[in-house]
Amino acid sequence: MNYMEMRLIQLSRTGDRAAFMDLMELYKDKIQRLAYRMLHNKHDSEDIVQETFMRVYMHLNRYDETQKFSTWIFRIGKNLCIDLLRKKKVVYSLDTEILEGDERNRYAIHHSDEATPENHILRAEIQEQVRHVMNILPDKFKIVVGLYYFNELSLQEISEKLGIPSTTVKTRLHRGREHMRKKWGFTAF
């Protein structure tokens, strides 16, 4: 975290509104892009930006300075998007099979071919956190989750590689995801 960002956080914690506005200015466009990529709706993504900064302002004293601020704020924004998607009763999954022309799977198939530096940094941060959380998983779950998400192997390929039934692989993947959700609040899995 750079000095300016840390200083803005410290000043914001003391009630300095100008500092908080500067902090918002640093992240509002990034949160807007994240929300729009997840929701595909400009109005909803603008609402998410506002709600994200309301939550940041209300909970800034809970922010752990040993963690990256960007990761913390992106997690808040991402979770708000997921909550909104759930309220709309639409299920979006990263594991959904891609069906051409199926609007319900838009999030599952939407991606950008242009990888921005911001996306690389965010992806690296998320992968680092995933690896950290995976280290607390029991080995039988850790191996399956790692092969599935990092090596991008299919359930059948994992089954063959480990010499276990594909139903066992599916069960371990499910339980590994559940374990990660409970321990860290992972919603990406």
**Of 66, 67, 40, 34, residue with least CA distance to 52:** 34
pLDDT value of residue 124: 64
**Of 143, 142, 173, residue with least CA distance to 155:** 173
pLDDT value of residue 99: 52
Query: What percentage of the chain reaches a pLDDT higher than 70?
Result: 73
Task: Among 76-80, 100-104, 143-147, name the most confident range.
Answer: 76-80
- The three-class DSSP label of residue 87 is helix
Query: What percentage of the chain reaches a pLDDT higher than 90?
Result: 28
* pTM of this structure: 0.48
pLDDT value of residue 111: 43
Q: Greater confidence, 183 or 7?
A: 7
pLDDT value of residue 116: 55
Once rounded to an integer, what is the mean pLDDT over residues 126-155?
A: 76
What mean pLDDT, rounded, does the chain reach?
A: 78
- 31 band by pLDDT with thresholds 50, 70 and 90: very high
- 113 band by pLDDT with thresholds 50, 70 and 90: very low
Euclidean distance between CA atoms 65 and 1, whole angstroms:
9
Burial class of residue 145 (count of CB atoms within 10 Å of its CB; 0-12, 13-18, 19+):
buried
Please determine, for residue 112, whether its predicted confidence score (pLDDT) is greater than 60: no
- 155 band by pLDDT with thresholds 50, 70 and 90: confident
Euclidean distance between CA atoms 76 and 73, whole angstroms:
5
Q: C-alpha 163: how far from its chain's center?
A: 32
What Rg do the C-alpha atoms of the chain give, in angstroms? 19
Euclidean distance between CA atoms 64 and 68, whole angstroms:
8
Domains of the chain: 1-92 (1.10.1740.10), 116-189 (1.10.10.10)
- 146 band by pLDDT with thresholds 50, 70 and 90: confident
Q: Give residue-wise pLDDT tens across range 33-71.
A: 999 998 888 999 999 999 999 999 889 988 988 889 999
- The three-class DSSP label of residue 102 is coil
Question: Residue 65 contacts by C-beta under 8 Å, 6 or more apart in sequence?
Answer: 1, 6, 9
**Of 47, 33, 104, 110, residue with least CA distance to 80:** 47
Q: Tokens 């359930």 — which residue? A: 155
Q: Give residue-wise pLDDT tens across range 16-25.
A: 889 999 999 9
Euclidean distance between CA atoms 9 and 23, whole angstroms:
7
